[in-house]
Amino acid sequence: MKIAALFVLVVLLTVVYPFNEANAGVPLNNIEGVGGIAFNPLAYTAGTSIEKDKKSGEEKGITYKDIFSKPQFGVWYVNLNSVKVDWTSIGVAETFFKRLEVSYSNETIAPRGTNIHKNNVGAKLLLLPENFNDHKFLPAVSVGSIWKESTNVAPGVNDNDFDIYAVATKLITQTPRPVLISGGVLSTKGLVTGVFGFDRQRKEIGFANVDILPIDSVAVGFEFKQGARFSDFKNANYWDAHVAWFANKNLSLVLAYVNAGNSKSTSTVGLGDGVVLSAQYAF
């Protein structure tokens, strides 16, 4: 519960902090450290924005901001009460040349008994920037990979492997309020995202996000991730409904309800449901 207390403290600090500057936004550092929402990556790379001259509106010449992005940090706390598991994650991401994102996160899954620790090292390459060459209908498109390693896996199960993904993301501004849509394909061997280790088979699954910005500083959305179904282990589908508050240009806070599958199911491995809290900071 220390993470939850930290989250409440950050909320209180932001209430008294004068945030009259531009607000933060997506991508966040997801639970695995990658620029995204909670489960899924977005095509956008962490911490990047186009620097434009205030008078002419033209892009500036090459500066250090074209090489290094502003680093992003994210803290997550997930309470899966039905299976009595606290799940925490701390992640960081940095983008180079506005194209290559590298990320890291450490997850701690605390059931009754021995804790499980999972490390994630990610790399994402932006292939196609959003609205490339002034084509307003084009989404951003990225490909990426995450190397994962888990402790205390069962005998006969691999303790590390790679996920590979491709994702497209588009912010639609022609609607009354902006709508963010994103979807992709993930190739994985992960058992419960790799927490329980990695299968010898590889399966391809789908994932998707949609968020609406009712006001500029708030996003309300839904996220879905298909469960990989191996011959000897079938993951449940995951989904969440969330509200993100972009408190100021640095800080974002997230409150969500997550459903990680029926924990009593005999056909799939699910972890039940619970509350999710996250605090995100971008320099």
| CA separation, residue 139 to residues 16, 29, 81, 132, 225 (Å) | 37, 20, 38, 8, 20
Q: Over the stretch 174-202, which tens digit does the pLDDT of each residue have?
A: 999 999 999 999 999 999 999 999 999 99
Q: Using H for helix, E for strand and C for coil, what is the string for 16-32? A: HCCCCCCCCCCCEECCC
Residue 141 lies in a domain: yes
| CA separation, residue 224 to residues 41, 129, 260 (Å) | 11, 24, 10
Q: Which domain holds residue 97?
A: 2-48+66-282
Residue 54 lies in a domain: no
Kind plus residue range of the DSSP H or E element containing 208: strand 198-215
Residue 55 lies in a domain: no
Q: What is the pTM of this model?
A: 0.86
Q: The tokens of 194 are what?
A: 């790799």
Query: Number of structural domains, the chain?
Result: 1
What stretches of 48-197 adopt beta strand conformation (E)? 72-80, 85-96, 100-110, 116-128, 140-150, 160-172, 179-190
Q: Over the stretch 3-53, which tens digit does the pLDDT of each residue have?
A: 444 444 444 444 434 433 456 778 999 999 999 999 999 999 998 743 333
Region at 260 (left for phi over 0; alpha for psi -120 to 50; beta for the rest): alpha
Residue 140 lies in a domain: yes
pLDDT of residue 25: 79
Interatomic CA distance for residues 145 and 142, integer angstroms: 10
Q: Over the stretch 103-137, which tens digit does the pLDDT of each residue have?
A: 999 999 998 678 999 999 999 999 999 999 988 89
Residue 60 lies in a domain: no
Of 227, 147, 153, 149, the closest CA to residue 196 belongs to 153
Residue 56 lies in a domain: no
Mean of all residue pLDDT scores within the chain: 87
Residue 58 lies in a domain: no
Q: Over the stretch 54-89, which tens digit does the pLDDT of each residue have?
A: 344 444 444 556 788 889 999 999 999 989 999 999
Interatomic CA distance for residues 82 and 265, integer angstroms: 13
Residue 98 lies in a domain: yes
Average pLDDT over residues 257-278: 95
The domain that contains 77 carries what CATH number? 2.40.160.40
Contact 280, 103 (CB under 8 A): no
What is the distance, to the nearest Å, from the Cα of residue 256 to the centroid of all Cα atoms in its chain?
13
